[in-house]
Amino acid sequence: MAHFDVFNGDADGICALHQLRLRHPVDAQLVTGVKRDVCLLRRVKAQSGDSVTVLDVSLDANRVSLVSLLNRGIDVEYFDHHFPGRIPHAARLVAHIDTSADTCTGLIVSRHVRGENRLWAVVAAYGDNLAHAAHQAAVSCALRDPDEHRLRELGEAINYNAYGESIADLIVDPVAMYRAIQPFSNPLDFIAATNLLDRLTLARNEDIESASRHAAMQRSANASAYVLPGAAWSRRVRGEFANLMARREPLRGHAVLVPRQDGKYVVSVRAPVSAPCGADRLCRKFGGNGRLAAAGIDGLDPARLDAFIAALGEMFSDGHCPPV
């Protein structure tokens, strides 16, 4: 019998898996990728009697592969906070899914393991740009302010590292990132023992500076859209730049677009921090998905660019959560 751990290569996915395996160690085959590589279950070559744990990738995007695994006699445990659509009713599926705007997969797993190694949930939440939830988790751990700041830096750096069109765009392969943190139950020890945070922070700052210089902006009354050039640094910094703009202008919606090699755009959307909802519904209208406060589109046709920018402004038009 084999076990597969399937997880998003961002901070939330990595830290969620790390908490789970610190509590429940398993010799697993790892399946992951860049942040937008969310259809990961199709890569799982499991057989009847095997088992799979999935963390921080949309059930809705993996529905066909999930049903196929269940029908082949494979047990699946699913942890996630993205829009799931209809959750299959199957005896072999155990789903821990919470789409609340103020949670992430790392916090869901933290609840599941009764708060063991909760500092990694702080890293996960800061990585997912959930500053309030991250701070609340930090308070529950009685963290000193300087230590909380370091965990925020780590979460944001690991999350930044997940963005790219392929693994070649990334500074560190997500599998290597997970393997690097595996020996550490305390993220502060990880920071002290390795140079990964410094390495990622240097690259991240350089990429943000490039984005600030080169972004072409379209601004409406309620939202801003930024188009970056098609370069590796643009693909890496897309999500981080969207988070940065959202924090700078919390009353507005934001989108960052980067062209793929085929001419279509990869899009990161952030709802206003003051009303963190609607991003997922906006992106689903254009073939994407995500969560209430942050979502994305993997391939926006250039012919729909104007329609998308118009819809971005309309979705966040009144400063309140848009009606369902």
Last residue of a domain, one of 194, 223, 240: 194
| pLDDT average, residue stretch 238-249 | 94
Where residue 322 falls among pLDDT bands split at 50, 70, 90?
low
Residue 100 and residue 24 share a domain:
yes
Mean pLDDT (the chain) is: 95
Tens-place pLDDT, residues 264-290: 999 999 999 999 999 999 999 999 999
CATH code for position 296:
3.10.310.30
**Number of helices (H), then strands (E), in the chain:** 12, 11
Residue 25 and residue 125 share a domain:
yes
Helix (H, G, I), strand (E, B) or coil at 31: strand
Residue 163 lies in a domain: yes
Confidence (pTM): 0.88
How far apart CA 121 and CA 138 sit, in angstroms, is 9
Residue 199 lies in a domain: no
Residue 318 scores a pLDDT above 90: no
How far apart CA 289 and CA 312 sit, in angstroms, is 14
Residue 294 and residue 185 share a domain:
no
Residue 321 scores a pLDDT above 90: no
Last residue of a domain, one of 160, 194, 228: 194
- Spatial CA neighbour of 68 closest among 36, 94, 46: 46
Residue 38 and residue 103 share a domain:
yes
How far apart CA 211 and CA 268 sit, in angstroms, is 14
Tokens of 12: 């939330």
Residue 319 scores a pLDDT above 80: no
Element of type H or E holding 79: strand 75-80
Burial class of 36 by CB neighbour count within 10 A (0 to 12, 13 to 18, 19+): buried
Residue 236 and residue 102 share a domain:
no
| pLDDT average, residue stretch 11-27 | 98
Residue 182 and residue 110 share a domain:
yes
| pLDDT average, residue stretch 58-78 | 97
Residue 228 scores a pLDDT above 80: yes
Tens-place pLDDT, residues 168-201: 999 999 999 999 999 999 999 999 999 999 999 9
| pLDDT average, residue stretch 34-44 | 95
CB 164 within 8 A of CB 34: yes
Residue 321 lies in a domain: no
Residue 108 and residue 65 share a domain:
yes
CATH code for position 107:
3.90.1640
Residue 324 lies in a domain: no
**DSSP classification of residue 310:** H
Residue 48 scores a pLDDT above 70: yes
Residue 174 lies in a domain: yes
Where residue 324 falls among pLDDT bands split at 50, 70, 90?
low
Residue 204 lies in a domain: no
Residue 200 lies in a domain: no
Residue 185 and residue 131 share a domain:
yes
Tens-place pLDDT, residues 154-172: 999 999 999 998 999 999 9
Residue 323 scores a pLDDT above 70: no
Residue 62 and residue 7 share a domain:
yes
Residue 224 and residue 182 share a domain:
no
- The domain total for the chain is 2
| pLDDT average, residue stretch 245-258 | 96
In angstroms, the Cα distances linking 44 to 10, 56, 92, 267 are 19, 16, 16, 27
Last residue of a domain, one of 136, 165, 194: 194
- Could you tell me what percent of the chain has a pLDDT over 70? 98
Residue 245 and residue 143 share a domain:
no
Residue 313 scores a pLDDT above 80: yes
Helices (H), the chain: 11-23, 63-71, 105-112, 119-127, 131-140, 145-161, 174-181, 187-193, 196-214, 232-248, 279-284, 305-315
Q: Which range among 57-61, 100-104, 230-234, 318-322 shows the weakest confidence by mean pLDDT?
A: 318-322
CA 181 to chain centre: 18
- Spatial CA neighbour of 18 closest among 119, 127, 99: 119
**Domain of 277, in residue numbers:** 209-315
Residue 44 scores a pLDDT above 70: yes
- Could you tell me what percent of the chain has a pLDDT over 90? 94
Residue 65 lies in a domain: yes
Residue 129 and residue 228 share a domain:
no
